[in-house]
Chain A
Amino acid sequence: MANTIISHGITVEGEITSEDEVVIQGTLKGKLSAKDAVSVEAGGVVEADIAATSLSVGGQITGNVTAKDRVDLVAGGRLVGDVKAARLTIADGASFKGNVDMDV
């Protein structure tokens, strides 16, 4: 089980910093930085810049995201913002608007 879970129905307005995995099923407005994986699951709404080792997007994100390792936009996921990551996948059914920087 993930270390930190912002579950459905919960709203965080502010900044989250975490050494471990973070799962967002609810709402986050502010900023999120984690030294582990972050996943925004279906139903999750994030208006925040995110920095993590990896990021999986099944919900909605408005904000710039930076991942050390990878960003995966899964079906149903929606990302509006710039992506900076070594790897990026966008699944069929995901939507994305923004710039990609793969640091080449």
Chain B
Amino acid sequence: MARSVGNISQGNTAIIGKGAHVRGRISGDGDLRIEGGVSGEVAVKGSLSVSDGAEVTADVQASSVTVEGAIEGSVSANEAVTIRATARVSGAIRGASVSIEEGASVSGKIEADFELPPELSSGKGR
């Protein structure tokens, strides 16, 4: 079924644009950038980025995940999860490493190996 076509590069990033909404499941090998809305499920083998302004209501899974927009659902990555300042995430986050910038709002469990910055670790026990 898969034909190799000259003008299609394998490493293309798939994009769900600002004005677009996907209801259902997105899966596959490549990278994915979500600028619009997705509700359902996302599982890609490449990297996933959720841009500022994007609204994702889905469990997402990718090799690495960068979030600038909103995600309602679990986030799971084999490698790094990066939560940028503009992001809102409600759901469990799991990754080999998880970084959260100041200003981001996160509610949910975080599973990763990381050290809390001193101001946080002194304030709260866990």
Chain A residues within 8 Å of B, Cβ to Cβ: 2-22, 25-27, 30, 35, 41-43, 45
Contacts and interface: CB of A to CB of B under 8 A. Distances in A.
Contacts of B10: 8-9
Contacts of A3: 15, 17-20
A52 B19 CA distance: 14
Interface of B: 1-3, 5, 7-10, 12-30, 32, 36, 40, 44
B1 A4 contact: no
A2 B22 CA distance: 16
A8 B30 CA distance: 8
Contacts of B28: 9-11, 26-27
Q: Which residue among A2, A3, A12 has the maximum number of chain B CB atoms within 10 Å of its CB? A: A12
Contacts of B1: 45
Contacts of A22: 17, 20
B29 A16 contact: no
Contacts of A41: 8
B22 A15 contact: yes
